[in-house]
Structure 1
Amino acid sequence: MIYPNAVIAGAPKCGTTSLFHYLAEHPEVCASTSKETFFLIDKDYPLFRPEWNYHTKGLDGYMYFFEGCVNEKPKLRIEATADYIYQKTPIEVLPKLAVIPKIVFSLRKPGDRIYSLYNFAKNNMAVIDKSVSFSSLIRDIQKEESCSLRKKNQIIVKKAIQHSRYAGYLKEWIKAFGRENIHVLLFETLTSDPKNALYSISNFLEIDFKFYQNFDFKKKNQSVTVKHQWLHRIKRKYGMKISLPKFRRLGKRLYENINIDNSKIVKTEEDITTINEINQMFYEDNRRLEDLLDMDFSAWDIVRLTH
C-alpha cells in the first residue's frame, strides 16, 4: 500500500511549493505526481475536487499519486497541499495509516502572507479586480463584503485574516499527531537561509542533509504581475486543454511574452502601512503560537519591537 509518510500541510503563500521541490530533488525522496493532490480536502471547501478525492475514492484513490514510488522504494514519499492546515479530513485520515506520516508546516508573518495572497489572487489567479487596493481589500474582509472577488474563490481570500491565525488550526493537528511528529518552519528562514531550513527538516524527516550542501535553492510559484486579467482568465480556463506538449510550451512562452511582467512587485506606502497594521493585530496570536509550539515568534511582532 503506497501512501505518503511525510506531508507538507501548509500554509498557503508560505513557501510550500519551493520546499516541496527542494525535497523532491533529494535521492531518498519520491514526490507525488502532483505537488498539491487536494485529495484530503473537505467537501465544503472551495478547492475540493469532486472528480478525485478521499470521500468518493477512499484510501485506494490516494495511492494513485504515488504510483511512481512503487519501484523506487524511497525512504520518503511526500506530497504538499498547503490548504490541508485548515481541513478536518487529513486530521481524521492520516493518523489511521499503517505508518503515520510526519507533518511539516511553513508559517509566515501574517501581514506578509496576506499581502502575498492578495497579489497572487489578483495576478496569478485573476480573482480580484485590479482596481481593488490592498487596504480596501482588508477593509472589505473585515466588513465581510464581497471585495470585488469572482464567486468561486471568494471564501479563500475573504478568510485571509482568519486563516493566518495559525494556532487554532495547529492545535488540532498536534492533538491528532503529537508535537513530536510535527515540524514547523518559518518562511522567513526558508527564504533568508534555506540551507539551515533544510538542515532542520532533513533531521526531522531523517534524510541525508549532505545533498543540500551545494544545492541551488531557486524559489517557486512566485507572484507575477498580469497585464490583462481577461487574457489571463482565458489562459487559465483553456491552457491545460492543449494536449500536445510542444504546442503547450509554445503557447506558454507566447503568453508570458504578451501578458506577464516579471519585474518585482513594489509595495506602496499605503501597502506597507496596511501590512504593519495587520501584524499589530496578531500580537496575541503570536503569543498563542509561542505557547503551543514552544518557539520564538518575536521577529513577527510590530508591537514588541516598538515598545
Structure 2
Amino acid sequence: MLSHETAAPLDHVAIIIGSMKGGTSTLFSYLSAHPQVAACREKEPIFFASLYKWGKGRAYYEGLFDFDPSRHAIALEATTDYAKFPYLDYVPGRMAQLPYAYKFIYLIRHPLRRIESHCRHVQKTKREVLGIPPNRADYSLEHGVPESAIEFSRYARHIDAYKEAFGDASIKVLFFEDLISDPQGVLNDVTDFLGIDALAFEKPVHRNEGARARTSRRWDSLRRLPVLRMLWRRLVPSSLRDRAYRTLGKEAMPGRFVMTKGEEAAVLRELAPDLQRLRDVHGIDFERRWNLDLDAILQEASGARCPVAQASLDPAPFARTDADHAKAHRPEHDPDHRRGADRYRTGVRV
C-alpha cells in the first residue's frame, strides 16, 4: 500500500485527459496563464498512469504544482495517457484513491483526422503509450491503421469510465475544432466549468511540436502566389483543399498519413457503436462539426468489422522500455499496470 499522507493544501485538481493529438498542449498553454491556476511544471506528469511515478506518492505529485492557496483555486495538468484505454484503463481507479475534487477536460477531435495525426506523431517521436517505444516500427498507414489509434478514438468509452468513477458533472467534453476556430469561446466554457474567473484569449507561447513548421518550402511558396491562391480557392472544393493540405502541408515524413476512402469507411464502421453512444447517451452533437452522418454509418456497419486494424499491432514484445520504466517497472507488484502493458504489447482487445 502506497503512503500518500501530506500536509499540502492542494485539494482541487483539473486534468486535461486527452485526447492524444486533440489540442491538449494548446489548451494547457492557454490555461497556464490564468492567475488562479497552478499549472504543473511537467505538462504530462503521467503520475496516475506510470507505476514509477505513482510509487513516488502524493507529496511528489503535489510538489509539481507550486500551489499557493492564497492565489490559486485549482491545480492543472494535461496527460493524454489518462485516455488511452483499454491499455491504461486502471487510471480512474488510481485517481479515486486520492481525495481530490477532480475536474476533467476531454478534447475530442474528428476521429479520422485524429488518427492521421496520431500516426504521423508516433512515426516522428517513436512514442505512443507511457513513453514506451512501440513495437510497430512503421506507423505509415500503408501498413494498416494501428489498432491503438482506433482505441484512443473511442471517446464514449473514456467518458463512460470517468463519469462512472467521479459522476456526470466531473467531466467537460469539448471539440478540438472549436478550440481552433473559437478559442475564446472554449476558454469561456472551461473557466466556467472550473469555477474560476474568465480569461481573455492570448496566443500561447508554447505549441505542440506537431503544430510547428507545418508547411514545406515548396507548398509555402505556392501559397504565396496570389493568382494560384485565388484559383485554388475558387476552383477546388474545400474538402479537397483540406485533404491536399494534410498531404502536402506537413513536414516531410516517410510514409502515408492520409486515409483512403476505403480506410475511412472501415474505421467509421469500427467506431460506429462508440459514436452512437457518444451521441445518444452523452448528448455530444458531433455530426454537424465533423460532417458525419451517424445513422448512415450505423447502417453500413451492421455485420461489418474493420479489416484495416486487424494486423496493426505486432504481438512481439518491445525491444526496450524507456528509462524510467526500465529502472522502476515491477509489474508483478502492480497487476493493473501489468495488464495495461501486456494489452499494449500484444494488441489484445477488451
Mapped contact 2:43–2:77 kept (Cα < 8 A): yes
Match of 1:264 among 250, 257, 268: 250
Distance of aligned partners of 1:72 and 1:124 in 2 relative to their CA distance in 1, 3 Å threshold: farther
Taking a change above 3 Å as real, the CA distance of residues 89 and 304 of structure 1, as seen in their structure-2 partners, is closer
**Equivalent residues in 2 for 1:111-260, closer than 5 Å:** 111-125=112-126, 133-138=140-145, 141=146, 158-209=147-198, 211-212=199-200, 214-216=201-203, 220-223=207-210
Q: Percent identity?
A: 27
Letter in 2 for 1:62: Y
Q: Secondary structure at the match of 2:47?
A: coil
Secondary structure of the corresponding residue to residue 37 of structure 1 = coil
Among candidates 62, 76, 79, match of residue 78 of structure 1: 76
Tell me whether 1:291 sits opposite 2:280 in the alignment: yes
The alignment's C-alpha RMSD in Å is 3.2
CA distance change for structure 1 residues 3 and 34 in 2, over 3 Å: closer, same or farther? farther
Per the TM alignment, residue 303 of structure 1 is displaced from its structure 2 partner at its CA by 4.1
Please tell me the residue identity of whatever aligns with 1:136: H
Paired residue for 2:324?
none
List aligned pairs for 1:70-109, cutoff 5 A. Answer: 70=68, 73-85=71-83, 86=85, 87-109=88-110
Of the structure 1 ranges 172-181 and 292-301, higher mean CA displacement relative to structure 2 is found in: 292-301
SS of alignment partner, residue 185 of structure 1? strand
Corresponding residue for residue 340 of structure 2? none
- Residue aligned with 2:77, SS: strand
Query: What amino acid does structure 2 have at the position aligned with 1:39?
Result: F
Q: Is 1:273–2:271 an aligned residue pair?
A: no
1:129 deviation in Å?
5.2
Structure 1 residue 162 displacement after superposition = 1.7
In structure 2, C-alpha distance between the alignment counterparts of 1:88 and 1:22, rounded to whole Å? 28
Match for 1:40 among 38, 48, 63?
Answer: 48
Q: Is the CA contact (8 Å cut-off) linking 1:7 and 1:104 kept in structure 2?
A: yes
Deviation (angstroms), 1:135: 3.8
Contact 1:194–1:217, Cα closer than 8 Å, also in 2: no
2:19–2:107 contact (8 Å) kept in structure 1: yes
Matched with 1:9 is: 17
Note if contact 2:119-2:140 (Cα within 8 Å) is conserved in structure 1: no
| Structure showing the higher helix proportion among its residues | 1
Q: Distance in 1 between matches of 2:271 and 2:112?
A: 9
- The letter of the residue matching 2:203 is D
**Normalising to structure 2: TM-score of the pair?**
0.60
Aligned to 1:146: none
Quote the residue 2:30 is aligned against.
22
CA 69–290 in structure 1, closer or farther in 2 if over 3 Å, else same: same
Report the CA distance shift for 1:205/1:269 in structure 2 as closer, same or farther (over 3 A): closer
Q: Distance in 2 between matches of 1:270 and 1:12?
A: 17
Q: 1:298 Cα shift? A: 1.2
Secondary structure at the counterpart of residue 65 of structure 1:
coil
The AA in structure 1 aligned to 2:72 is: P
C-alpha displacement of 1:199: 1.1
- Which runs of 5 or more residues in structure 2 are unaligned? 1-7, 128-133, 215-247, 298-350
Larger Rg: 2
Q: Is 2:104–2:171's contact at 8 Å kept on the other side of the alignment?
A: yes
Q: Residue 160 and residue 134 in structure 1: after superposition, are their counterparts in 2 closer, same or farther (change >3 A)?
A: same
